[in-house]
Amino acid sequence: MIKRFSEYKVTDRRVGEVYKDIVLSARMSSHNNFLKLLGSCLEFPFPVLVFEYAEHGVLNHRGGVTTVNGEESLLPLSLRLKIAKEIANALAYLHMAFPKIIIYRDVKPMHVFLDENWTAKLSDMSFSISLEEGKSRIEAEDVLGTYGYLDPLYFATLVVSEYTDVYSFGVLLMVLLSGRSVYFNVSDGDPVGILQYVKGLYEVGKLSEVIDLMVMKDITSAQRLEAEACVLLALRCCRERDEDRPKMIQVAKELKRAETLFL
């Protein structure tokens, strides 16, 4: 696959983000859940990057895939949970594998590609930020990311930590489980955020209603329990205080545990 950046604004900051994408993508290429960078061409205002081919494309805003003829393909619950586990593993790797913690900062479905085996591949490292060695947080110059997935604490304080990614992952997990956009309309009302929607269902004891109705009819009772456990985990990831959220390695372990617990 060829990745070419828009040349509308060639600023120093944007150039820095593009080269950060090259460096970190190359660094992550040995991990199975990152899109592998194969090469680049520097004969343009921005480098043009060559990545491995992702047979099944990229997730759309509802956590599904869109076919070449523009139709949306429904993903079974088991595949949605597999994608969640693999992206959790990728983020945990960023947070733990290097002396300096790397924060991804822009977790969302549109950065997740699927190869021929439906293996999830995280891509686009341009908004990532590295913390100083031994430090667990850093104050960023500005807010980068995607509205709806952004951690409100980061938005309010400019402070970035590994919990910034945890919050965004929690939102991603809700999108995958529900098959809904991060913002959507309920009946004739105003748009509602996915977190507000899921919290509302949880508070009235209707946790199972979070799960996409299109897959509910085809799942076992064990799969429903696993999905409900994942909804609860997503809500924990999105708690207001970052110290109340789990770390990504804990999230990855709990997703794996939920898989085996309800077999």
Condensed to tens digits (0 to 9), the pLDDT of residues 114-141 reads: 999 999 999 999 999 999 998 999 999 8
Residue 259: band (very low, low, confident or very high) from pLDDT cuts 50, 70, 90: confident
Beta strands in the chain (DSSP E): 2-4, 37-41, 48-51, 65-66, 72-73, 102-103, 112-114, 120-122, 129-130, 137-139, 159-161, 183-185, 191-193
Which DSSP letter does residue 210 get?
Answer: G
Sign of CA dihedral 185, 182, 241, 204: positive
pTM above 0.75, yes or no: yes
Q: Which two tokens stand for residue 160?
A: 């970035």
Render pLDDT for 72-100 as a digit per residue (tens, 0 to 9): 888 999 999 999 999 999 999 999 999 99
Residues designated as active site: 106
Alpha-carbon gap, residue 237 to 246, rounded angstroms: 6
CATH architecture of 54-261: Orthogonal Bundle (1.10)
pLDDT given for residue 15 in this prediction: 82
92 vs 102: CA distance, rounded Å: 10
**Strand pairing class (65-66; 72-73):** antiparallel
